[in-house]
Amino acid sequence: MDFTKTVIARKLQVEELECLRMEAYENARIYKEKTKTFHDHHICNKDFQEDDEVLLYNSRPRFMPGKLHSRCDGPFKVKEVKPKKWLNGHKMKKYHGYKSPKKLEAYLLEDAPGGEES
């Protein structure tokens, strides 16, 4: 057993391990950049004007909220808009009001096909 050969082999293993670790860090950094770019691309800017109606998301957990109950409170009116100052902007969305359902036309047939004939 040559001690110098063992020391050299061990140093090569440590250096190889360091290279693999640095490569893993670089791959993680690239992945995070791509994920952030993808996420930022899908963010919509919310522009609110004064007197707009908004809904406020209530993040407080409820005891029995129910499946179909809304988690939003409101509508509220925007009183003041300050540029580049988002206090609760991420919790708000525009309220578009109640939309009436589309009108449905129904036709009644006097003699249904396949019915009894007298």
What's the pLDDT tens digit per position in 4-58? 999 999 999 999 999 999 999 999 999 999 999 998 888 777 777 888 888 888 8
Torsion of CA 28, 33, 35, 37, to 10 degrees: -170
Question: Phi-psi category of 66—alpha, beta or left, where left has phi over 0 and alpha has psi -120 to 50?
Answer: left
Q: Where are the domains of the chain?
A: 1-43, 53-94
pTM above 0.85, yes or no: no
Q: How confident is the model at residue 100 (pLDDT cuts 50, 70, 90)?
A: very low
Least confident of 53-57, 75-79, 90-94: 90-94
List CB contacts of 57: < 8 A, sequence separation 6 or more. Answer: 71, 72, 91, 92, 93
